Amino acid sequence: MELAILYETGEGQTRKIVGVIADQVRALGHEVTVIDAAEAMPEGALERADKVILAAPVHERRHPRAFETALTAAREPLAKMPTLMLSVSLKAAFAEGMDEAQDYLTEMKMRTGLQPTQEALVAGAVRAGSYDYFQSQIVKHVVLDGQDVDVSEGETEFTDWAALEKTVAGFLDR
Ligand SMILES: Cc1cc2nc3c(=O)[nH]c(=O)nc-3n(C[C@H](O)[C@H](O)[C@H](O)COP(=O)(O)O)c2cc1C
């Protein structure tokens, strides 16, 4: 099977997630093409695929604009094939944040017309070292408001790798 992964990342966690998925898919004997939505889309890359995984993070309640533009442009081919949409956010790391994490995805689907066959809310990471002052204030006081997480330094990863592997395996099997 030929799989395409279309993704975008801000601080790198979604790129890491995509790398882990690509390794998993290749280990199962499939071909993978990884496409960064922030760069030029290779001609026909999505059309050639049997299945497509879409992955993007949430920043200030939205998935990246270039990612949304790529989804809107590829709406027709994507509607014809099985798709798995992975929405990466910090709200998805906490049970009480799940409704909000789902809202980000629902709003993105309304804007782009994407109707994925399968979707998952994936917990991302805090990467304090890569934030400027403004970003660290947003993550601390808005995104993680009420959570007992120290964002002052280093990296705190919330991604559940075992659950992600299961989600991807289920998508490949369907
Ligand atoms: C400036 C900024 C704003 C963010 N806004 C949100 C948000 O509104 N909701 C949320 O759940 N997570 C938010 N996050 C957390 C990111 O979704 C999380 O860190 C994710 O792992 C980022 O993925 P990436 O490294 O691929 O960019 C924000 C992070 C930053 C730095």
First to last CA, the chain: 12
Q: Which of 54, 89, 107, 108 to mutate to test the pocket of ligand 1 (most atoms within 8 A of CB)?
A: 89
Domains defined along the chain, listed by start = 2-173 (3.40.50.360)
What per-residue confidence (pLDDT) applies to 50? 97
3-state SS assignment for residue 81: coil
Alpha-carbon distances, residue 155 vs 70, 99, 158 (angstroms): 29, 25, 10
pTM (two decimals) = 0.97
The overall longest dimension of the chain from CA atoms, in Å, is: 46
CA nearest neighbour of 35 among 10, 62, 70: 70
What per-residue confidence (pLDDT) applies to 8? 98
Enumerate residues 6+ apart whose C-beta is below 8 A from 122.
17, 55, 86, 87, 88, 89, 92, 159, 160, 164
Q: Which of 17, 36, 90, 100 to mutate to test the pocket of ligand 1 (most atoms within 8 A of CB)?
A: 90
What per-residue confidence (pLDDT) applies to 174? 86
Which residue, judged by its Cα, is nearest atom 16 of ligand 1? 89
What per-residue confidence (pLDDT) applies to 40? 85
What per-residue confidence (pLDDT) applies to 148? 86
156, 121 contact by CB (below 8 A): no
Q: Are strands 155-157 and 125-127 parallel, antiparallel or unpaired?
A: antiparallel
Enumerate residues 6+ apart whose C-beta is below 8 A from 93.
123, 124, 158
Taking the chain (174 residues) in runs of 10, the rounded mean pLDDT of each run is 97 98 97 94 90 98 97 95 98 97 98 97 94 92 88 88 98 94
In the chain, DSSP finds a helix count (H) and a strand count (E) of 7, 7
